[in-house]
Structure 1
């Protein structure tokens, strides 16, 4: 039976976390079939071995185990490996260091999207887990945005944690997408189009912050640099409406000012 939803998971050196991630997938209770696609980008720890062990026990798990790291060659797993394989009408995203805690997460989100054709994305609340201190905290984004968002809202700020997303599998990403220093937020902007985004205020997952994280592990200066590169590419692509590009340009100028402040601080520190 064709799956209605495809879980798309990326993993790299997530040996200490991937079991929680996979257990969160397998605990899902749905009245529709799902498939679980897992891309491991040539991990140097036991991540791939753990993924294979789980796949042997559950036929819904489909593995893509790289022997050579693709990210270092600017080949992103979502557009190049996971999305082309996904058979589902919907895509659920989660990285191998985050996890889900609500067994009805996928059912709730798909139920909403099935009955609201004018929405392209549904996301939920998530707890934050600080790995270094072994503590949880509430997501600082929570309560800062409405339950229905548009592309204008997301152009101003990305409120969506990757592990909370279920979205329609009805879009294509441009070739230059691989060159972006990050992928989730630009992808949402590209695929939303004229449709809306639904937020469900249920805590259904955990977003992990740790020093090895692709984004959360970056220092402030590096985050600013990556944001500037991504904004510049989005604006120059002209793939988004003009009024959205104006919002992005305003954000670019704001981050350019932050970058100058960081350089000045670095200059003073080295004096």
Structure 2
């Protein structure tokens, strides 16, 4: 049976602070509850698969077939969350639903919400997840191994301390280029991924590769509907409840094509999107993770501000440069103040306070100096000489 979801509230009706209050209450409730597996309804599916679609008629059959091909000894459900596609996506999905009515549930929006924020459609999917575990697949991506769910669910069943299980993902190209490794970053090199790794994006996974424990059931936190939510921030939300584990095996593919929401964006747009995501989820997740976010913003902003000189990207727009510089400065200040208050350096260790102040001043100077015009840099040369001399003095005193 086709299930039509109600139209979502507009961004103006459900504002940031409303989402913030609901999210904080929701997370607090989950932290205070103790999960009793004996109370889990055995009639419900073990895994809920959220299939997100919008005008994916060229790709949806491959995505659907890759889910139905899973070899597992437990029940699954496939919840198709379609954002009012204007092509034949819904017809193709309905044909599959008639073949597998006990597995496939169709949730079709009556009007498109992606023009507001694609996360509103995804949030609808979070409200349909009945399984003990869940995973997300976008209609233009697909799974490459029929044993994917069996391996990941088996791992999570045996290792209760983990919140999710991921694996390697291939990037495939519509123009026929050879597939290549996508995520996680090869430089990361570890299987166990902590909350700090998720926040700093050192441990990053594509959404098609992850199976999560369904901590929130049918009542997800509204931060997942935020316009700056994505798989990175979803991982942060679930990373509060345990580490992630990565299986060293390719079992999903991310497709790059011109119609993709993210693959069509520039690198600068990606970076700004993630920076705004840090801003929002810094508040959603609460003070417990503030310093973690501050350190992540320092590292991320520093990388972006020096990316042009390293040949990573084109020169940033002036507005983007200013945005990242401000975030770098404020986050650095937060980290510095936290260090001073943590060790009470202002009162008990003035020498260490001086060390940290000089070292951070030098770092801040170089971060700013690389982005300002040459005539202004010449005026700042006396300050530069003073800081460098102090820096070398501090370095020699630490030996």
Identify if the C-alpha distance between structure 1 residues 33 and 85 changes in structure 2 by more than 3 Å, giving closer, same or farther.
same
Q: Find the aligned partners of 2:75 and 2:132 in 1 and give their Cα distance.
A: 11
Listed one character per residue, the Cα deviations across residues 185-227 of structure 1 (whole Å, up to 9, x for unaligned) are: 1111011115110000111111111121111121122212212
Contact (CA 8 Å) 1:180, 1:233: kept in 2 or not? Answer: no
Name the SS of the counterpart of 1:72 in structure 2. Answer: coil
Q: Which runs of 5+ in 2 are unaligned?
A: 1-42, 309-314, 321-399
Q: Find the aligned partners of 1:148 and 1:176 in 2 and give their Cα distance.
A: 25
Structure 1 or 2: more strand by fraction:
1
Cα offset for 1:255? 6.6
Q: Find the aligned partners of 1:85 and 1:177 in 2 and give their Cα distance.
A: 14
Alignment match, 1:78? 122
Contact (CA 8 Å) 2:183, 2:206: kept in 1 or not? Answer: no
Cα offset for 1:130? 1.2
Identify if the C-alpha distance between structure 1 residues 134 and 52 changes in structure 2 by more than 3 Å, giving closer, same or farther.
farther
Alignment match, 1:62? 105
Q: Find the aligned partners of 2:72 and 2:56 in 1 and give their Cα distance.
A: 27
Contact (CA 8 Å) 1:224, 1:258: kept in 2 or not? Answer: no
Contact (CA 8 Å) 1:232, 1:252: kept in 2 or not? Answer: no
Q: Find the aligned partners of 1:84 and 1:236 in 2 and give their Cα distance.
A: 23
Cα offset for 1:142? 5.0
Number of residue pairs matched? 266
* Structure 1 segment 222-237 matched on structure 2, within 5 A: 222-237=269-284
Contact (CA 8 Å) 1:228, 1:256: kept in 2 or not? Answer: no
Match of 2:199 among 143, 155, 158: 155
Name the SS of the counterpart of 1:245 in structure 2. Answer: helix
Q: Find the aligned partners of 2:276 and 2:191 in 1 and give their Cα distance.
A: 30
Structure 1 or 2: more helix by fraction:
2
Matched, 1:168 2:216: no
Identify if the C-alpha distance between structure 1 residues 118 and 179 changes in structure 2 by more than 3 Å, giving closer, same or farther.
same
Q: Find the aligned partners of 2:121 and 2:164 in 1 and give their Cα distance.
A: 20
TM-score, normalised to structure 1, is 0.89
Cα offset for 1:69? 0.7
Alignment match, 2:317? 263
TM-score, normalised to structure 2, is 0.62
Q: Find the aligned partners of 2:177 and 2:96 in 1 and give their Cα distance.
A: 26
Q: Find the aligned partners of 1:229 and 1:62 in 2 and give their Cα distance.
A: 34
Name the SS of the counterpart of 1:198 in structure 2. Answer: strand
Q: Which runs of 5+ in 1 are unaligned?
A: 267-271
Alignment match, 1:97? 140
Identify if the C-alpha distance between structure 1 residues 211 and 182 changes in structure 2 by more than 3 Å, giving closer, same or farther.
farther
Q: Find the aligned partners of 1:118 and 1:93 in 2 and give their Cα distance.
A: 21
Name the SS of the counterpart of 1:186 in structure 2. Answer: helix
Structure exhibiting the larger radius of gyration computed from Cα positions: 2
Alignment match, 1:189? 236
Matched, 1:137 2:185: no
Matched, 1:49 2:97: no
Alignment match, 1:269? none
Alignment match, 2:296? 248
